[in-house]
Every structure is written in structure tokens, then in C-alpha cells.
């Protein structure tokens, strides 16, 4: 008769090994699940870190266009304007003696050496159309000088050839002396853009105005 003891012992041994294997597998699964939960918790903490730091946030609306800062205002060229005014004052002197340059007639006309007498006659007869006028009535000497220089510069830049400058007859000046009338001829002679000038005809201002011929633009 064959004994069953070894076979039973072998079966118990197998069951024990299986139990150990199952327990090991269960521990490994529990450890895996624990590690997974710990990783998920870590990821949640990282995702919430920004919100926890700065508080609630709100998404900006999508305007589908670029947003740029407003353009700053253009700087005002104050220094350049001051420099130009200083240059205008320096180009006209009140001490210039013009008497020797004026023709000795009643109108005290003027022409540069390269300008013929026929040009002066034509200017006196109104041969050129007056294209612009500057009225200096009521201005003080310094104001009138600066405005004259600026007026002549602008007229030349725009290609004007004939202009009229109204200086008045001096009836409202202290002592009724025509201060601007006297200075005007001296100022005009000093400007390189002035080729000639004559006293205006009676209908154009007479002794209270001058008609000025300007150099043609280069």
C-alpha cells in the first residue's frame, strides 16, 4: 500500500508558496496605489500653487487685435524756435546806415547793383503782382523787425517775387515821427533776398508802404 503523506506535504507547500506570492502581490499593488495617489496629490499641489500664491484670476477677453501703448505727443521744438528768432534778430541791425544806398528821389527807392533801373521803374508802375502783404501798424520796433525777417523768409521759401510791407506814415508815433518808416528801409537793404523796393503807389498805401521785389528761388 502506497502512502499519501509526501503528496499532501507537497500540496501544503504549494499552497504556502501561493499564499506568500499573493501576499507579496497584494503589498506591491498597495504600494503602487499609494505611490500613484501621492503623485496625483503632488501634481494637484503644483497646479494650485499659482492660485494659492496670487489668489483668484480671471481670463482676459480675446479682442483679436494687438494692443499698443498710445503714441506720445511730438516734442515742441522750442529751442529751435528760439535759435531761429535769435538768428532773425542778428541778421538785421538797427545801426546800419542805409542813406548811401538809396537813390536820391522823393520815394527813396533801392536796387542792388545787379538790378537795372528799368526793373525799379517797372516795380514803381506796378509791373509785378503783389502776392502777399505784411502790416506792421501798431507794433514796437523789435516786434516789427522780427516779423519782417520772418515774413521775408517765408515769402522766399514759397517762391513769392513781389510783396508789400505796410509800415504806416507815423502819424500815431510819439512826436509824429515815422520810426518804422525810417527803420524799414534799413532793414530791407540788409536782407539778401531783397533785390529792390520802391514806395507804394497811392492806391497801394503811398508813403505808408513799400513794394518789395524778392530774389527768385534757386
- Give CA 97 to chain center in angstroms: 42
Q: pTM, whole model, 2 decimals?
A: 0.53
Decide if pLDDT at 177 tops 60: no
> What average pLDDT does this structure show over 70-87?
62
Decide if pLDDT at 189 tops 70: yes
Decide if pLDDT at 104 tops 50: no
Decide if pLDDT at 174 tops 60: no
Give all strands of the β-sheet with 209-214 in edge-to-edge order: 110-111, 194-199, 209-214, 162-166, 132-135
Alpha-carbon Rg for the chain in angstroms: 51
Q: How far apart are the first and last CA of the chain?
A: 142
137 phi/psi in degrees, rounded to 5: -55, 135
Confidence of residue 89 (pLDDT cuts 50, 70, 90): very low
> What average pLDDT does this structure show over 19-37?
84
Confidence of residue 3 (pLDDT cuts 50, 70, 90): low
pLDDT at 155: 94
pLDDT at 163: 96
Burial degree of 201 (CB within 10 A; 0-12, 13-18, 19+): middle
Amino acid at each position: 500500500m502506497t502512502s499519501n503523506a509526501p503528496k499532501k506535504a507537497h500540496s501544503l507547500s504549494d499552497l504556502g508558496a501561493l499564499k506568500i506570492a499573493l501576499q507579496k502581490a497584494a503589498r506591491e499593488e498597495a504600494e503602487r496605489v499609494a505611490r500613484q495617489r501621492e503623485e496625483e496629490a503632488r501634481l494637484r499641489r503644483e497646479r494650485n500653487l499659482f492660485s494659492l500664491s496670487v489668489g483668484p484670476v480671471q481670463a482676459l477677453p480675446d479682442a483679436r487685435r494687438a494692443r499698443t501703448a498710445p503714441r506720445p505727443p511730438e516734442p515742441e521744438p522750442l529751442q529751435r524756435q528760439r535759435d531761429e528768432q535769435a538768428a532773425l534778430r542778428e541778421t538785421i541791425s538797427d545801426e546800419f546806415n542805409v542813406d548811401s544806398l538809396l537813390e536820391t528821389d522823393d520815394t527813396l527807392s533801392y536796387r542792388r547793383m545787379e538790378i537795372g533801373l528799368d526793373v525799379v521803374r517797372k516795380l514803381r508802375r506796378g509791373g509785378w503782382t503783389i502776392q502777399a502783404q505784411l502790416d506792421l501798424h501798431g507794433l514796437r520796433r523789435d516786434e516789427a523787425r522780427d516779423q519782417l525777417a520772418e515774413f521775408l523768409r517765408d515769402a522766399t521759401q514759397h517762391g513769392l517775387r513781389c510783396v508789400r510791407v505796410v509800415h504806416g506814415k507815423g502819424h500815431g508815433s510819439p512826436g509824429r515821427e515815422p520810426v518804422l518808416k525810417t527803420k524799414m528801409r534799413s532793414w530791407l537793404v540788409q536782407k539778401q533776398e531783397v533785390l529792390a523796393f520802391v514806395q507804394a503807389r497811392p492806391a497801394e498805401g503811398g508813403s505808408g508802404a513799400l513794394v518789395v521785389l524778392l530774389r527768385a528761388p534757386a
